[in-house]
Amino acid sequence: MNRLEALVSLNRVAGIGSIRLKKLLKFFHKPENILKAPAEKLDAISGIGPKIACQIAALKKEDLAKEFAQAASLGLKIITLEDKQYPKNLKNIPDPPIILYVKGDILDGDNFSIGIVGSRRASFYGLNNATNFAFDLAIKGVTIVSGMARGIDTAAHQGALKAQGRTLAVIGSGFKHIYPAENIELAEEISKQGAVISEFPVNALPLPINFPRRNRVISGLSLGTLVVEAAQNSGALITADFALEQGREVFCLPGRIDSPSSFGTNELIKQGAKLVSNTDEILEEFIGYSSSKQASAVSLEKPKTKADLSSGENEFYSFISTEPVHIDELIDKTNLDITCVSDILLSLRLKKVIRELPGKYYIRINEK
């Protein structure tokens, strides 16, 4: 078994991502060695546990052979985290996928990309703007990234295709189960003008648990994410949250205050996400773009300074240092309730002066 085969096998185990893989490789050095190890040795590695250990030990060569055969029959490329073709933006997130199944081509130019996400039950306003923003960005050479879901995602891909631009679709299932089914033809179109991408094995079903994982890939591939329309508990807000954790920009289109499908976007704007009304306002964050200039280089925005914070935010910021501090400790120190603390933390994250670590710990990003 070679390295690629071993990585594809390990990717078939639920619960193994790049973080657990690093732990295993630290002990076993090669992915091939992981598959040769007995369950007892695997269980002894911190963070693995008996369930995952047994799943690794139970992997069968015939299942791997079937995986490769199905991928080939569907015209898929298999890219590992170690390959040069692996997207640079995605490689730089905390937990990049081990494996990407790709139909189409991922190009170097796709590093200059913007995610567009929003509600599945979108209004005409949302659909129209998603299409128009995607079209205009694609015309200007930006790759549009979305999740090929109903509503805003579909409109964003269609806008990019209409402009004959590049678009990447990240799906929350294996390629044998494209979801939603009505977008199978759209997937084919996208693969000819960009790529359809999945981290899931070919036969993986579109289970609800898969879509938050899919969302981190959408934001991870993108320099910034535009939320077009999102209700209070929309999956698009999960994508925005991942974008913040990954140090990426978040943009929002304002919506009607009496529209439930705009509650989420309007709340993000109140917390500090950039309100935009045209594509130049997005592009200027990265390249000083204006309609009279051509894009020449990508330059991520520098973190905000303390001068950009309100007096209340500055006072709260003083309780966060270069050492991780837990949200409970911040609640104790500030005497504020959890809702207020959460709101301020979100605002500080949007202003890029702090970042969230696993377990609800927070740390300063920079000192001026």
Structural domains in the chain, sorted by start: 1-59 (1.10.150.20), 103-287 (3.40.50.450), 306-364 (1.10.10.10)
Higher pLDDT: 239 or 284? It is 239
Task: Look at residue 366 in the predicted model and tell me its pLDDT.
Answer: 63
Joined together, the tokens standing for residue 7 give 């990585």
Side-chain-side CA neighbours of 14 within 13 Å: the count stands at: 6
Whole-number CA gyration radius for the chain = 21
Quick check: 292 pLDDT over 80? Answer: no
Q: What is the mean pLDDT of residues 144-153?
A: 97
In the DSSP assignment, the letter for residue 112 is S
For 6-25, the pLDDT digits (tens) are: 999 999 998 888 889 999 99
In the chain, the percentage of residues whose pLDDT exceeds 70 is 93
pLDDT at 79: 97
Sheet holding 354-357: strands in order across?
325-326, 361-364, 354-357
CA angle 12, 14, 16 (to 5 degrees): 85
pLDDT band with cut points at 50, 70 and 90 for residue 306: low
Residue 368 pLDDT: 45
Task: Identify the band that residue 303 occupies on the pLDDT scale cut at 50, 70 and 90.
Answer: very low
Output the pLDDT for position 231: 86
Q: Model confidence over 254-273: pLDDT tens digits?
A: 988 888 888 889 989 988 89
pLDDT at 291: 41
On whether the CB atoms of residues 82 and 175 are closer than 8 A, the answer is: no
Distance separating alpha carbons of residues 264 and 284, to the nearest angstrom: 24
pLDDT of amino acid 152: 96
216, 236 Cβ separation under 8 angstroms? no
For residue 298, pLDDT over 80 is answered with no
In angstroms, the CA 368 to CA 4 distance is: 44
pLDDT score, position 285: 85
| Residues 6 or more apart in contact with residue 74 via CB below 8 angstroms | 103, 175, 176, 202
Q: How confident is the model at residue 304 (pLDDT cuts 50, 70, 90)?
A: low
Per-residue pLDDT averaged across 62-90, rounded? 95
Residue 329 has pLDDT above 80, yes or no: yes
Over residues 242-253, the pLDDT tens digits come to 999 998 999 999
* SS percent in the chain: helix, strand, coil, step 5: 50, 15, 40
CB 145 within 8 A of CB 113: yes
pLDDT digits (tens, 9 = 90+) for 333-359: 999 988 889 888 888 888 888 888 777
The percent of residues in the chain predicted with pLDDT above 90, rounded, is 63
Instruction: Give the confidence band of 284 by pLDDT, cuts at 50, 70, 90.
Output: confident
Across 155-176, average pLDDT:
97
Confidence class for position 301, pLDDT limits 50, 70, 90: very low
Share the mean pLDDT of the chain.
89
Q: How many CB atoms lie within 10 A of CB 108?
A: 9
Residue 293, pLDDT score: 36
| Whole-number pLDDT of residue 367 | 57
- Stretch 32-60: mean pLDDT, rounded? 90
Q: Quote the pTM value.
A: 0.80
Q: How confident is the model at residue 151 (pLDDT cuts 50, 70, 90)?
A: very high
**Helical axes 3-11 vs 61-73, angle rounded to 10°:** 90
| Confidence band, pLDDT 50/70/90 cuts, at residue 287 | low
**Do residues 337 and 231 touch, judged by C-beta distance below 8 A?**
no
160, 134 Cβ separation under 8 angstroms: yes
Separate counts of helices (H) and strands (E) for the chain: 17, 12
Four-point Cα dihedral 221, 226, 230, 233, nearest 10: 40
Which pLDDT does position 359 carry in this prediction?
A: 74
Choice between 355 and 152, residue whose per-residue pLDDT is larger: 152
Q: Which residues are CB-contacts of 47 (< 8 A; sequence separation ≥ 6)?
A: 19, 20, 23
Whether the predicted pLDDT of 147 surpasses 80? yes
